[in-house]
Amino acid sequence: MNLFILRHASAGIRRKNPVLDLKRPLDKDGKRHCLHLAYVLNALKIQFDLIVSSPLKRSLQTASLIGTETGYEAQILLSNALAPEATLQDFQKLLYECRGNENLLVVGHNPNINRFLGALLVPASSHATAQVRLRKGSIARLSLTRGPATLQGLLDPRLVRALYATSTKSSRRKTSRK
């Protein structure tokens, strides 16, 4: 299975009130980044069989924008295994339940999404984890077979911006019209 782990895009400043923070939406930069990321994923010909998101608004918006722009037509599955308070065991159970999918996208939050990614990259018997930092809007691609996962790629928001900017520029020279 190809597992794509995406940290939700920019959602502005964290609210002090936890109830209000649950409903914090993506900001303008976050929405723009999702569209750019979807454009890059389309250029790489990546399609998702299943998209699973944290139930928090900013993650669901990220998943919806990416799904819509990449042609995903099924319903996005909401899972508390990707919520900020989720444990590694919750995440592993989710992966087990989704094992029949070839390309799975999960959208979650810091710090657990970083921990989940790190735990997948190191054998369970070593009692250690890899330290991986996903910025807001970063996506990691892993290959899950037997043993520890293999990191196949990581797209950081700065790289996505650069790829989007270079791929959308016109290849035709501008000429003056006199």
Identify whether 132 is part of a domain.
yes
Residue with the bigger pLDDT between 101 and 176: it is: 101
pLDDT digits (tens, 9 = 90+) for 46-72: 999 999 999 999 999 999 999 999 999
Query: How high is the pLDDT of residue 40?
Result: 94
Identify whether 74 is part of a domain.
no
Identify whether 57 is part of a domain.
no
Identify whether 16 is part of a domain.
no
Q: Specify the number of domains making up the chain.
A: 1
Identify whether 4 is part of a domain.
no
- Which pLDDT band, with edges at 50, 70 and 90, does 29 fall under? very high
Residue with the bigger pLDDT between 173 and 139: it is: 139
The full 3-state SS of the chain, as one line of letters, equals: CEEEEEECCCCCCCCCCHHHHHCCCCCHHHHHHHHHHHHHHHHCCCCCCEEEECCCHHHHHHHHHHHHHCCCCCCCEECHHHCCCCCHHHHHHHHHHCCCCCEEEEEECCCHHHHHHHHHHCCHHHCCCCCCCCCCCCEEEEECCCCCCEEEEEECHHHHHHHHHHHHCCCCCCCCCC
Query: How high is the pLDDT of residue 15?
Result: 74
- Please tell me the pTM assigned to this model: 0.87
Residue with the bigger pLDDT between 2 and 15: it is: 2
Identify whether 56 is part of a domain.
no
Identify whether 71 is part of a domain.
no
Residues of the domain holding 110: 79-136
Residue with the bigger pLDDT between 46 and 131: it is: 46
Please report how the helices 57-69 and 28-43 are oriented relative to each other, as an axis angle in degrees rounded to 10. 40
Say yes or no to pLDDT of 126 above 70. Answer: no
Say yes or no to pLDDT of 173 above 80. Answer: no
Identify whether 103 is part of a domain.
yes
Mean pLDDT over all residues of the chain? 88
What's the rounded mean pLDDT across residues 131-151? Answer: 88
